[in-house]
Amino acid sequence: MIPLCTPSLEGNEALYLQQCIETTYVSSVGPFVNRIEAMVAEATGTASAIATSSGTTGLHVALTAVGVEPGDLVILPAFTFIASANAIAHCGAQPWLMDIDPASWTMDTQLLARCLEKETERRDGMVIHRASGRRVAAVLPVYTLGMPADMDAVVTIARAHHLPVVADAAAALGATYRGRPIGQLGADLSVISFNGNKTITAGGGGAVVGEDMDLIALVRHLSTTARTGEEYDHDRVGFNYRMTNLQAAVGCAQMERMDALVAAKRRIHETYQTAFAGLAGTTLFPRPNWADSSCWFSGLVLSPPAPLVAEMKLQLRTVGIEARSFWKPVHLQRPYQDCPRTPMPVSEAVWTKVLTLPCSSHLSASDQGEVIAAVRKLVG
Ligand SMILES: *Cc1c(COP(=O)(O)O)cnc(C)c1O
């Protein structure tokens, strides 16, 4: 079977794990934790990074740090992994779900501006969503498939309404937007995931990056039980959300190879792009000119005369190729059916048509050739 996506652990992963055992630094204090924070800060072009136990917990602590409270709304594109919405719900808040831009599958900035203008009002310095009476507390753009949203526009709109921006950059390590690395796009905080299916993994884990040292210090404080000194004094309800040295050991070995891993992902994307150019019933994932995606996943958008996604998945499986569908939008998920939302023509049209194809960073040219031949045969 050619798998969809498996990690490449051919660097110093085993060596660094062994060092954790030998030194007994297995928990959330340790040299690899410090090192991965420095590596992530450098790779994202930010002053500082806080390593967390997952991308989801990173989002939760980041939203808490920018002031999201129970009863608030956080603006979120509907086409995202459910973890983005869960992090909002963990704050006791609710997503205000908006449709995506068809040309990038990221936040539709015109829709964002229109919704804020038409459906909110300012009261006591707060942005209030008129229909629900709830405070709008933050904007959470998502870097879909490693493709940054149009952040100049997102940040301009958010600033005009005095709203903080937390970016879900879970799979976007290595991406750039107008030539800038993902920590320099204007979000107050940006969150990365090191989950096992991401290009750079720590087995599980995440990181929160930002330029504002006070805000970063607050993230660090909240993620380590809000402890105020050597004694057991705590000044807030904090979290136990730090990455362990074991995870960071794997993550550091992966970060050492970040450029090569991302380059491999981009090469795989280019190869599919060339191979499927003009194939009837197929288009590739959108690539707006404002960004250079980290190409987390590669695949196709299928429409007639191509077979349906479910049919393609089955047929590819019979010839030993794993392919999958992709995110089901948040408004179609049971916990989020009643959230305030815009109409969703784009999200609803897109998600049923996405087929992800094998794209491990170590996918061989011959295996990718096999995938291409099988897809062409089924579609053609
Ligand atoms: C992977 C992912 C997450 C969650 O990260 P975890 O580390 O699995 O908690 C959140 N948002 C998006 C867009 C992701 O792709």
3-state SS record for the chain: CECCCCCCCCCCHHHHHHHHHHHCCCCCCCHHHHHHHHHHHHHHCCCEEEEECCHHHHHHHHHHHCCCCCCCEEEEECCCCHHHHHHHHHCCCEEEEECECCCCCCECHHHHHHHHHHHEEEECCEEEECCCCEEEEEECCECHHHCCCCHHHHHHHHHHCCCCEEEECCCCCCCEECCEEHHHCCCCEEEEECCCCCCCCCCCCEEEEECCHHHHHHHHHHHECCECCCCCCECCCCCECECCHHHHHHHHHHHHCHHHHHHHHHHHHHHHHHHHCCCCCEECCCCCCCEECCCCCEEEEECCCCCCHHHHHHHHHHCCECCECCCCCHHHCHHHCCCCECCCHHHHHHHCCEEEECCCCCCCHHHHHHHHHHHHHHHC
Band of the pLDDT at 72, cuts 50, 70, 90? very high
Which position has the token pair 């919704």?
115
Residue of the CA atom closest to atom 8 of ligand 1: 195
Would you state the pLDDT for residue 23?
97
Indicate whether 175 pLDDT > 90. Answer: yes
Indicate whether 229 pLDDT > 90. Answer: no
Tell me the C-alpha to C-alpha distance, in Å, between residue 320 and each of 2, 120, 235, 273: 6, 52, 55, 22
14-52 pLDDT, tens digit each: 999 999 999 999 998 999 999 999 999 999 999 999 999
Band of the pLDDT at 277, cuts 50, 70, 90? very high
Given CA atoms 102, 104, 110, 112 in this order, what sign does their dihedral have? positive
Distance (Å, whole) CA 325 – CA 143: 18
Would you state the pLDDT for residue 140?
99
Region 295-310: mean pLDDT is 95
Band of the pLDDT at 230, cuts 50, 70, 90? confident
Would you state the pLDDT for residue 271?
98
Work out which ligand 1 atom sits closest to the CA atom of 144.
Answer: 13
Contact 65, 219 (CB under 8 A): yes
For the chain, what percent of residues have pLDDT higher than 90? 99
Distance (Å, whole) CA 231 – CA 217: 19
Indicate whether 380 pLDDT > 90. Answer: no
Q: How wide is the angle at C-alpha 50 spanned by C-alphas 47 and 55, nearest 5°?
A: 120
Nearest to 346 by CA among 18, 100, 22: 100
Work out which ligand 1 atom sits closest to the CA atom of 195.
Answer: 7
Whole-number mean pLDDT of the chain?
Answer: 97
Global pTM exceeds 0.95: yes
Q: What is the best residue among 79, 142, 193, 208 to mutate for testing ligand 1's pocket, by most ligand atoms within 8 Å of CB? A: 193
181-228 pLDDT, tens digit each: 999 999 999 999 999 999 999 999 999 999 999 999 999 999 999 999
Ligand 1 centre to CA of 275 (Å) is 29
317-365 pLDDT, tens digit each: 999 999 999 999 999 999 999 999 999 999 999 999 999 999 999 999 9
Would you state the pLDDT for residue 315?
98
Would you state the pLDDT for residue 174?
97
Distance (Å, whole) CA 99 – CA 75: 11
For the chain, what percent of residues have pLDDT higher than 70? 100
Query: What residue ranges line ligand 1, CB within 6 angstroms?
Result: 54-56, 80-81, 83-84, 142, 168, 170-171, 193, 195, 206
95-108 pLDDT, tens digit each: 999 999 999 999 99
The torsion angles phi and psi of 40, rounded to 5 degrees, stand at: -70, -40
